[in-house]
A and B are shown apart, each in its own frame.
Chain A
């Protein structure tokens, strides 16, 4: 069965510093996708970034980058130059190849300190 693990329930980072949120996954599929979503305190889910299992380069979207290490089955999110508005819960997710379903990890709460 496919599984996403986020081992950090909560993280703190100083404003303007970079932070890495960990995500490991387990799958026997050769083709899969990995994603990160942000959930601010207001509750909506915001898509941040996508990495395909065959992509050779790490995905980047503005201040977000995905550190994809296939052999280690990890897909960590790196946020550079943290801002107060980055305070939120962050979810790692994986797409099942056969069904297209998204499976989410438990989430990591990030607090950015001024």
Chain B
């Protein structure tokens, strides 16, 4: 089975540009999470979806960040405009209901974003 697929793996962009990160969760998983990892702040939950509906976006840093899940097999995280402090590794993870209870999230390989 294919795991969680994220693209791009690496993105280098200039301040002010729009960045779109993509995620394809594992088929059959109905929960999807976006995390951000930095040296200073560790792993932070940005937003999560259940059955394509955003449940909690309290971790989204500010209005420059937005996330969508138009269907069960695709999600995007958009940053517009990007800033150097957005440089981080962004992880997408998915799981099913039992996985939420046991904490077993299936992570993608991450998208490393560098904003110059």
| Residues of A that sit less than 8 Å from B by CB | 33-35, 42-47, 50, 52, 91, 93, 95, 99-107
Contact = CB atoms under 8 A, between A and B. Distances in A.
B48 A45 contact: no
Contacts of B116: none
A105 B109 CA distance: 20
Interface residues of B, number: 22
11 contacts: A33-B103, A35-B102, A43-B109, A44-B108, A44-B109, A46-B107, A100-B48, A102-B105, A104-B43, A105-B42, A107-B42
Interface in B69-94: 89, 91, 93
A93 B89 CA distance: 18
B12 interface: no
B42 A45 contact: no
Contact of B56 (A35, A101, A107): A101
A43 B89 contact: yes
B107 A45 contact: yes
A100 B33 CA distance: 11
CB-CB nearest 9 A-B residue pairs: A35-B103, A45-B107, A104-B43, A100-B100, A50-B102, A106-B42, A47-B104, A33-B103, A50-B103
Nearest to A47: B104
Interface of B: 31, 33, 42-43, 45, 48, 55-56, 89, 91, 93, 100-110
Contacts of A43: 89, 109-110
A59 to B, nearest CB: 10
B32 to A, nearest CB: 12
Given A33-B101, A44-B107, A103 B91 contact: no
Contacts of A34: 103
Contacts of B56: 99, 101
A45 B45 contact: no
A64 to B, nearest CB: 14
A33 B108 CA distance: 22
Given A43-B89, A45-B93, A101 B45 contact: yes
Given A43-B110, A45-B91, A101-B48, A91 B43 contact: yes
